[in-house]
Structures are given as C-alpha cells and as structure tokens.
Amino acid sequence: MKIGILTFNWAINYGAALQMYALYSYLKNSNHDVYVLNYIPYELEKSYRPKILEKPLEIKSIAKKSLQKLIKHRQIAKFDEFIAKNLKLTEEITKISDLNRLIQSFDLIVVGSDQVWNYDITKNYLEAYLLSGINCNKISYAASLGKKEINNEAQILFEGALKDFDFISLREESSIECLKRIYDTDYKVCVDPIFLLNKDNWVNFARESNYSIYKKEYILIYMLEYNSNLINACKYLSKKYKLPVVSIEIPMLSTQRMFNMNNIKKLNNVGPRDFVNLFLGSKYILTNSFHGTAFSLIFEKPFISFAHSSANLRIKNLLKLYGLEDDQVSCEVKDFNLIENILSKTQDIYKIKNKKMNQLIEESKSYLNNAIISISKKVGLDHEK
C-alpha cells in the first residue's frame, strides 16, 4: 500500500523529527511504500528559518537573526541531513490545492502525530492538516489538540472535516472529550509514535551517532522554555555528584539561555540522532519537554519532569501512565530533598514491568494495523504486499 504521512516535517524540532521518523519506520517495516508529504506552509516554517533581511528591517531584529544563523547553522543542517537520509519525501508543495493533487496518488494518508490539530500552532493552515474538502482515504494517528478547548473558528473546521476520516486516533483523552462534543464517533487514544519503536530500536538508532560527547557521566538538561527551577536543580545535582551538565539547546536563539546558564555546556549543533544518543548516555535527566520525558522513560533513566507553562497536558498524561503525575515539579524548589526523592522514584519504576503502558502500545499498533487492513480491502489491495 502507498501511504503518505502528513505532519510537521518542516519543523526544526527534535520531537517533530523523531516522531515522524518513528511512524515512518513502523509503517515501512510493515512492508508499505511510505512517503512523508513534503507540505511546507511558509508562514509556519519561517519561524524556524529566519530570513535576515525580512521586513520589518529593524536593527535589533537583524542582529538577532544574524546571530541565530551563525550559532544554529550546523544544527539546522543536521536536521536537513537527517530527513534527507532517513525519510522518503514527495515533491515540495506549499499550497492546499497542490496538496489535494499530490494526495490523489496515495492509497492512504495518515495525519499525525504531533500537535497537527492545535489551532494555536497551525492557525490558518489547520484546514490543510484536517484535509478539509480533500477526497481520500484518511486516518489520524495520535494527533494532538494540545489543549482542552477549541475556539469557535476552529470548531467549524472540525465539524466539517472529522466525518470524512475513516479512523481517528488522538494522543490525549482530553482531546477525545473535546472532539466528541463536536462530532461523536469511535475515537481511540494512541501513544506517540516514538513508543512504536522499542528500547533496542532506539539504542541502535542512537549508536549510529558520531557526536562527540563526554566519555564520563553527565547530567543532561533539555528545556523547551527556560525554567529557573530546573537550572537550580541541575546545579545542585552537579555540585553534589560532581558531574558536568550539558544542555541540548532548542533551535530558537534565546538570550536568556545565553546569559543565565553559567557552567552549563550548551550544545547548539545537535542533530536528531545525536539528541537520542545524548539521552542514552546520560546519568540523570531534567526536562520540561514531552519527548524529553518520553526518551527518559524509554531508556529507563532517573529523571525529573518540570511543568511547561503552556504545553504541559501531554507531559502530565504520559507521567500518569507511569504513576508519576504527582511527581512533576511545578513550583519553586526550596527543599532539594524533593529532587532526590523524585530521582529515586523514577529509578525505581523500571523495576516493575509497566503493563498499562505496554498494553497501550500494543493497542496503538493494532489500531494502525487494523485501519490499514480496512483501507486495503476498501481499495481492493492485498495488505500483505
């Protein structure tokens, strides 16, 4: 079967790249002809690839964009290289009309994962990620709304589009509750695609990285947004255990990070494969990222999850599957015994097999497999081929 994946392939973002790779790999390993639809909405992509002379031509803006290009050029190049080597992309398109044309050559389109249905991110492009008005076989896989409510403008789009999907799965129960109020059908909760690959898959993936990292143990931090609590905690742990601290820096330049993270080695040249390798090699992990939390769990690392100010729902849901929902740090840390206790607890959870998470992973695989079999019969194909 010829399958196209519609996701945020344009985003210079570790979670976006790795979930896309995982879903692509899982489908490809099931003997399907898989492509990533190379749909690049300019207004969304430009935030990751700033053009220095783009209007308004303010001196402060030009200086910041110039500095970002200087510091981040290798990081961005590694993302481009990773996608080119590991994923099969279609021709590049930028318009919804071209998306419609491109999709007609596919047997099935899988929308997701990531926050493809989060209106705050996609804005005027939500229509494209809902495949509104496009006649094709379509399912969603672990799509996320990123929040519990949908505004009126987005609700109208969902009302018109959801009924045309053959199967719908989302990443959070709260997203299902929200969509059920708009269109009542059989929704399914599925895991983020990175959980479709097991620990051994990711270990082998990471070991292909040639990134030069510490040969000794280190504390790893990965922050989607600057968090002073996280920084204070990692400095405490660094001093107590005499371990260096390294930070995987996000592709967006932050002056706050540049000046408030003394004695922390900031890594601005990490590619997606290097990212996973750094998690694999770490002693302790501190993060306020969903995928940072996910790889901590996959590699069975002692870690501390810090609350994200605006994108914490999916992190909380993931922690709940491991019984850690009450162990996320969301306020100022005054007693560092709390940090020690959380590290100890996250280390202990791996001693017992997580039946709940394993069951959800198997159910997610079954959802995908059954949906593909159903579509195969619909289009008259042998799904084994």
Three-state SS at 203 = helix
* The domains spanning 2-196+358-379 and 210-351 adopt the same CATH topology: yes
Query: pTM to 2 decimals?
Result: 0.92
Nearest to 145 by CA among 155, 156, 132, 135: 155
First to last CA, the chain: 7
Taking the domains of the chain in order of start, what are their residue ranges?
2-196+358-379, 210-351
Q: How far apart are CA 182 and CA 159, in angstroms?
A: 6
Q: Give the pLDDT score at 269.
A: 92
Instruction: Tell which phi-psi region holds residue 263, choosing left (phi > 0), alpha (psi between -120 and 50) or beta.
Output: left
How do beta strands 108-111 and 138-140 pair?
parallel
Q: Which of 142, 257, 248 is nearest to 188 (CA)?
A: 142
Give the residue ranges of the chain where pLDDT is below 50: 52-53, 383-385
Within a 10 A sphere around the Cβ of 77, how many other Cβ atoms?
12
Give the fold, CATH level 3, of 210-351.
Rossmann fold (3.40.50)
**Residues 207-263 pLDDT 10s:** 999 987 767 899 999 999 999 999 999 999 999 999 999 999 987 666 667 667 878
Q: What's the pLDDT score for residue 135?
A: 94
Task: Look up the CATH architecture of domain 2-196+358-379.
Answer: 3-Layer(aba) Sandwich (3.40)
What's the pLDDT at 384? Answer: 47
130-to-135, 138, 342 alpha-carbon distances in Å: 12, 10, 40
Q: Which residues contact 357 (CB under 8 A, 6 or more apart)?
A: 191, 195, 321, 322
- Name the residue among 321, 340, 381, 361 with its Cα closest to residue 194: 361
